[in-house]
Structure 1
Amino acid sequence: MNVLITGGAGFIGSALTDTLRLAGHTVTPLDNLSVSSRRPSRKGLVVRDVRSLTAQDLDGVDTVVHLAALKSVPASFEVGGFEHNVAVDRHILHAFVGSTARRLLLASSCEVYGEQQGPLAESAPYAPRSPYAAGKVATEQLADIYRLRLDGDRQIGIVRFFNTFGPHENTDAVVPAFLEAVGENRPLVIEGDGRQARDLTYIDDSVTMLTRVLDAPALLPVINCGSGRAVCILDLARAVIRAAGRGTITHAAARINEISSFTADLGLFHRAYGAVDHMPLDEALALSLQTRVPAVTAA
């Protein structure tokens, strides 16, 4: 495949770039570096804003994987995040439809499910509780609209990420924030009582799932990418302390509109692409602790 990855300097994008290249694919990572990256400098990285891409830029590309986004849920309550993400996503959809590229895989989020009980299947209704989540709902609905303009074997797919974590992740997510805290001998700060649960997936497992999706002949309209098991934040903090051999816990105010639990239903994924052996949490945390490097930004 000839693959273009937006957000290619980011946490998931850079890992996917490496894996696809090792498999022999031609990969162009693209990123405007507006969000700092903890990855070392990327070979062949195109420093460019997604909104500058034209349909002609996508001609000759087999598959576009669109991962670029401002992904902070708390920050999305400030003005700008919702508008930015929706504008970028609509732009890539518009450019893709006007190009000769064959497939577009768009990143969405478990946040679109909101507060619902039990494992979350792709057929569950939308129930966003943040501007970030509402933006992802808008993107998914835009994808439905743009699919109507496709012909032949051209495809648009959506992958809903749950909580992917691992080395080189920025500290705007709970796992890297905990890892950095123990590394700097600071308390691990839990927002709320810590009973909220999250589906945690190690980066290698998420990339394995993504490559299964990309290797298949057809993209499904929507697919979950998670581990299928939830860990409460208090237990996660204790696991980080075990892995590091030190650490303390403190509590802060709960987040606005905090969701009590996310767990991926992987039934559709397993039927379409087969089961994935997920790395145990303690082992994944130990590996993540080994790689904590300073953030880098554009020159």
Structure 2
Amino acid sequence: MKIMIAGGAGYIGSYLIPELLDRGYQVDVLDLLWFGNQLPGAIKVFQKDIYSVQEKDLEGYDQVILLAGLSNDPMADFSPAYNFIFNMAAPAYLCYIAKRAGVKRFIYSSSCSVYGYTVDQFYDENSPAISNYPYGIAKLQGEAGIIQMIDNDFSVISLRQGTVSGYSPRMRLDLIVNTMFKSAMANGEIIVNNPAIWRPILSIKDAANAYIRSIEANKIISGIFNVASGNYTVGEVGDIVRTTVGEFYH
């Protein structure tokens, strides 16, 4: 199977792609490489903007995975315009081009942020998705665009991910678990704000497994799926990090 991963040189892609290669998949990457290239040397990388992709660029691929986009609330708040361009419009555009090129499945990296600021209750895929801030709005509308393209010959899977954590060759230190580990290791302290707030946490290993299962799912499967390893308060995350880091010093 031949797969194109847009944004494949980022945090999740740099972890996922070696897993796919080990399973025998042929993988190419579409990425501007703003944050460097930590991918295996054999990977072919097309340094193109998503909006410059044409049908001919995706002909021959079985599936397309979209990992690219502005990746968090601060980035979206800093530039709402770019947020809506790349998180709302780009998924629909790339999905449309992929479908016209004969691709059979489109997998989208969505976010639990589509549910907005939630209270102490569980949310499943049928819960109201009502976000009032730029990042969540754009991710939700990005989903809406691609879901419209599902038909008997074209599968669309959207993964509403929790906050991803863990080591990747292209590391991100702005994510709650990762930044706490960095602070604990480098400064000997962890700053915990709003300890009672609940966060769905997703290990990068589980994230990669979710993409692999999506790739391998029956061709008739389409839809939106929540993906998380567990739910923790910010205070609980801090306690886990403190205990884990403390073990390194015994």
TM bucket normalised to smaller: 0.7 to 0.9
Give the 3-state SS of the residue equivalent to 1:245 in structure 2.
helix
Tell me which of 119, 123, 126 is aligned to 2:122. 119
Question: Is 1:9–1:42's contact at 8 Å kept on the other side of the alignment?
Answer: no
Question: Is 1:76–1:132's contact at 8 Å kept on the other side of the alignment?
Answer: yes
Aligned identity (percent) is: 25
After TM superposition, give the deviation of residue 186 of structure 1 in Å: 5.2
Give the 3-state SS of the residue equivalent to 1:146 in structure 2.
coil
CA distance in structure 2 between the aligned counterparts of 1:160 and 1:53, rounded to whole angstroms: 25
Aligned partner of 1:264 in structure 2 is none
Aligned partner of 2:5 in structure 1 is 5
Cα deviation per residue 1:124-178 (whole Å; 9 max; x = unaligned)?
Answer: 111113201000111111113333xx5x522122111112211033112111111
| Map 1:62-101 → 2, pairs under 5 A | 62-79=62-79, 80-101=82-103
Letter in 2 for 1:56: K
Cα deviation per residue 1:233-262 (whole Å; 9 max; x = unaligned)?
Answer: 11211211211128xxxxxxxxxxxxxxxx
- Distance 1:113-1:40 versus aligned 2 partners, 3 A rule: same
Q: Any gaps of 5 or more consecutive residues in structure 2?
A: none
| Map 1:199-218 → 2, pairs under 5 A | 199-218=200-219
CA distance in structure 2 between the aligned counterparts of 1:7 and 1:113, rounded to whole angstroms: 24
Letter in 2 for 1:181: S
After TM superposition, give the deviation of residue 2 of structure 1 in Å: 0.7
CA distance in structure 2 between the aligned counterparts of 1:45 and 1:173, rounded to whole angstroms: 28
Question: Is 2:14–2:39's contact at 8 Å kept on the other side of the alignment?
Answer: no
Question: Is 1:110–1:161's contact at 8 Å kept on the other side of the alignment?
Answer: yes
Cα deviation per residue 1:80-115 (whole Å; 9 max; x = unaligned)?
Answer: 323332232232122113211111111111111122
Aligned partner of 1:29 in structure 2 is 29
Letter in 2 for 1:30: L
Question: Is 2:163–2:176's contact at 8 Å kept on the other side of the alignment?
Answer: no
Tell me which of 134, 139, 142 is aligned to 2:142. 139
Cα deviation per residue 1:50-73 (whole Å; 9 max; x = unaligned)?
Answer: 222111111100000111111111
Question: Is 2:89–2:142's contact at 8 Å kept on the other side of the alignment?
Answer: no
CA distance in structure 2 between the aligned counterparts of 1:124 and 1:117, rounded to whole angstroms: 14
Question: Is 2:158–2:225's contact at 8 Å kept on the other side of the alignment?
Answer: yes
Letter in 1 for 2:173: T
- Distance 1:90-1:186 versus aligned 2 partners, 3 A rule: farther
Structure 2 length-normalised TM? 0.88
Structure 1 length-normalised TM? 0.74
Letter in 1 for 2:63: T
After TM superposition, give the deviation of residue 180 of structure 1 in Å: 1.3
| Pairwise CA RMSD | 2.0
Aligned partner of 2:38 in structure 1 is 40
| Map 1:1-299 → 2, pairs under 5 A | 1-34=1-34, 36=35, 40-43=38-41, 44-46=43-45, 47-79=47-79, 80-114=82-116, 115-147=118-150, 150=151, 152-168=152-168, 169-185=171-187, 187-191=189-193, 193-218=194-219, 219-227=221-229, 229-245=230-246
- Distance 1:156-1:41 versus aligned 2 partners, 3 A rule: closer
After TM superposition, give the deviation of residue 75 of structure 1 in Å: 2.5
Give the 3-state SS of the residue equivalent to 1:242 in structure 2.
helix
Question: Is 1:8–1:45's contact at 8 Å kept on the other side of the alignment?
Answer: no
